[in-house]
Structure 1
């Protein structure tokens, strides 16, 4: 997750390759009207976003064996919509200084998202909050270093969940998710 220019597509594709799961860039799930609006320098409204977020949620829910999705997911309410049918999603927030984001956006003129919308995205961004599975990662590091940091965060979350699952199993005999499930779980970056 993160604003435009944060490296979501690059890091998401690398992370999916690392875990051997499919990758989806949520930009490809936008209806043409949303793309046209953003390309014209007009920020999306929530009414524009909800159907798109439902498509993102459907992609994640239909991939029980794992999927990495690059998606802005700027607000908690958007992340809640994405988690609608997939409670095990782990969010990786790629964070960078505004100046770095601006330089990155200016260096990709073929992308539909103009740098003029960066300020709007930064104003909309809500960092991960209490109760949200995920972590903030320094997106200004090299792609390899970012992928390593993301992988460590996912594996640490997996170990914690497996530990809680083991504790719960010992307490009441129920079996929770195994650690092996989480490294290939649904991840939004």
Structure 2
């Protein structure tokens, strides 16, 4: 089985959808936010965007998690905004991406409404600026966050199951 990376900007629903999808598929869920070193969390909490240098050790930790769950399968949420970040993950394991996509206003509203998270809405524009859509050679799909989480999970689970049926 391949590992699913639920990707997208902050507030797109990665944790909600990832948790539900892992439960549906009967695999372990990993929350990439918990893999951030304290310095990264402090920067984001202060409203300072992470640099590629900040993200590199974090991405390696996420990649180690995916590698440990391939071929058994797993679901991990990870922003994976840039192609080169996703390449780090793809080098470690078989990956299928679920890109949760939505408009800035919808996602900003979600971030503003959540409590206790280190990611402020002030960093959302930097996330959208960094976001690179999936390329044709990256396995996965993009779904709109305006759909109900259960509907997203239903669509993604069906697409993933179909993908596995035709996968190597």
TM-score, normalization: structure 2?
0.93
- The correspondence of residues 39-188 of structure 1 with structure 2, limited to 5 A, is 39-64=45-70, 65-86=72-93, 88-161=94-167, 177=168
Is 1:20 aligned to residue 50 of structure 2? no
Is 1:36 aligned to residue 42 of structure 2? yes
Could you list the per-position Cα deviations for residues 100-134 of structure 1 after superposition, in whole angstroms to 9, with x for gaps in the alignment? 00000000131100000000000000000020011
What's the secondary structure of 2:91's corresponding residue? coil
| Partner Cα separation in structure 1 for residue 159 and residue 81 of structure 2 | 20
Cα displacement (A) at 1:80 = 0.2
Could you say what the CA RMSD is over the residues aligned between the two structures, in angstroms?
0.8
TM-score, normalization: structure 1?
0.83
Query: Which residue of structure 2 lines up, in the alignment, with residue 182 of structure 1?
Result: none
| Partner Cα separation in structure 2 for residue 152 and residue 120 of structure 1 | 32
| Partner Cα separation in structure 1 for residue 115 and residue 154 of structure 2 | 29
| Partner Cα separation in structure 2 for residue 8 and residue 146 of structure 1 | 11
| Partner Cα separation in structure 1 for residue 166 and residue 102 of structure 2 | 27
Could you list the per-position Cα deviations for residues 159-183 of structure 1 after superposition, in whole angstroms to 9, with x for gaps in the alignment? 222xxxxxxxxxxxxxxx4xxxxxx
What's the secondary structure of 2:141's corresponding residue? strand
Query: Which residue of structure 1 lines up, in the alignment, with residue 10 of structure 2?
Result: 4
Unaligned runs of 5+ in 1: 162-176, 178-189
Cα displacement (A) at 1:137 = 0.8
Could you list the per-position Cα deviations for residues 3-35 of structure 1 after superposition, in whole angstroms to 9, with x for gaps in the alignment? 000000000000000011110110000000000
Q: Spell out structure 1 runs of 4+ moving beyond 3 A.
A: none
Count of residues in correspondence between the two structures: 161
| Partner Cα separation in structure 1 for residue 91 and residue 62 of structure 2 | 10
| Partner Cα separation in structure 2 for residue 135 and residue 121 of structure 1 | 19
